[in-house]
């Protein structure tokens, strides 16, 4: 879901919470900090939006939100 949402350029926080019953901001706190500090993502009311700079490097952003298992498999690959 996250990968597809980022291709549209944003994550709707309320919709994510309703769908998965977890807070996106709590689940991915470190990733959000990393991306916002580098101005690759910004928070607006109810959404986390990729900046134009973030959209340029989307293929590097999406894997930050992969499951732990998927990240390990990528590293091992």
Q: Residues for the chain: how many in total?
A: 77
Q: What is the model's pLDDT at position 57?
A: 94
Q: What DSSP element (H or E) covers 50?
A: strand 47-50
User: What CATH number does residue 43 fall under?
Assistant: 1.10.10.920
Looking at per-residue pLDDT, the higher value among 21 and 7 belongs to 21
| pLDDT exceeds cutoff 80 at 77 | no
Domain count, the chain: 1
Q: Which domain does 20 fall in, by range? A: 2-76
Q: What is the model's pLDDT at position 1?
A: 85
pLDDT digits (tens, 9 = 90+) for 51-74: 999 999 999 999 899 888 888 888
Share the mean pLDDT of the chain.
92
Q: What is the model's pLDDT at position 56?
A: 95
Q: What DSSP element (H or E) covers 74?
A: helix 68-76
């Amino acid at each position: 879901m996250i990968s597809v949402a980022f291709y549209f350029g944003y994550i709707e926080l309320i919709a994510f919470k309703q769908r998965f019953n977890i807070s996106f901001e709590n689940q991915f706190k470190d990733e959000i900090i990393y991306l916002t500090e580098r101005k690759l993502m910004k928070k607006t009311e109810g959404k986390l939006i990729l900046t134009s700079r973030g959209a340029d490097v989307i293929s590097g952003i999406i894997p930050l939100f992969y499951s732990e298992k998927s990240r390990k498999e990528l590293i091992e690959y």
